[in-house]
Amino acid sequence: MTVAPRTVADFIGWAERRFAEAELYFGHGTDNPLDEAAWLVGSALKLAPHELEDHLDDTPAPPQQDAIRALVEARIRSRRPLAYLLKEAWFAGLKFYVDERVIVPRSLTAEFIVEQFQPWIDPARVRRMLDLCTGSGCMAIACAYAFPEARVDAADISDAALQVARINVENHGLRERVRPVRSDLFDALREERYDLIVTNPPYVARVEMATLPEEYRHEPALALESGTRGLDAIARILAQAPAHLNPDGILVAEVGNSAETLQATFPAAPFTWLSTSSGDECVFLLTAEQLQRYHATFSSAR
């Protein structure tokens, strides 16, 4: 006979089993059913991830138990990313509002933001930053925390995404330092120059879109698809970035599973592939000098 869950730990274990049985896909803030279950239960109890461990033996109140069960059923039935059901996501240790107007924050660049992109740049001299394809604004806001003397532009082509970014800028009290800007990549930033540009642009090849798990199909396609090879956005960024970087500036970009295609397209380009703690290498760094030196190469591929 199955014993009904009673404690917080019980509910996490129950949700984990339900998720595993349902064969959900995990790629929107977690990568396994246990972490997803812990996030769901913690959110239902109004607990931040770092607070959950101290409450594992607590017994949720009946309304909280009902909320947990309802969220678990909704996650399984709808296949929507949990972040959309909770209207929250965590990035670089910070909490953000999200909904279907933006992709769920999950960029591996978070690790490098927290480390202030050292040793590739001197944090003390960073005064102007740009987050291209900002979506929810999570990278721009995380950069503002990491570089407290800097002003950050958060650019996106989507008015809907910028509405979400503005919510997060307000929630974090950063209206004076983070400026949401509607721009098709650099088009509306003609005279602006930056010490640091970060971007997590669309990088999914068109043919791959149909093969994505159902969870991804709830996200805006505009933020995912990038042409036949997945390189349309990043090729434009590489070609245009030199005009917007200060002499000692750097570009940091995440290109996901298009990393191999990008390297094959520009075999001579001196990409520095940054390794995350998990060993992933899909985030690259180029200096302003390198971008300028290979400008003709990058421009020819547009």
Question: Does 202 sit behind a cis peptide bond, omega within 30 degrees of 0 on the bond before it?
Answer: no
Residue 239 has pLDDT above 80, yes or no: yes
The share of the chain scoring above pLDDT 70, in percent, equals: 99
Q: Which string of b and e fits 191-205 if b means at least 16 CB within 10 Å?
A: eeebbbbbbbbbbbb
- Domain residue ranges in the chain: 8-86, 94-300
98-126 tens-digit pLDDT: 999 999 999 899 999 999 999 999 999 99
Q: Mean pLDDT throughout 185-207?
A: 96
Which CATH fold would you assign to the domain 94-300?
Rossmann fold (3.40.50)
What was the pLDDT predicted at 281? 84
What was the pLDDT predicted at 2? 67
252-277 tens-digit pLDDT: 999 998 999 999 999 999 999 998 87
What was the pLDDT predicted at 54? 95
What was the pLDDT predicted at 141? 98
Q: Residue 92's CB: how many other CB atoms inside 10 A?
A: 20
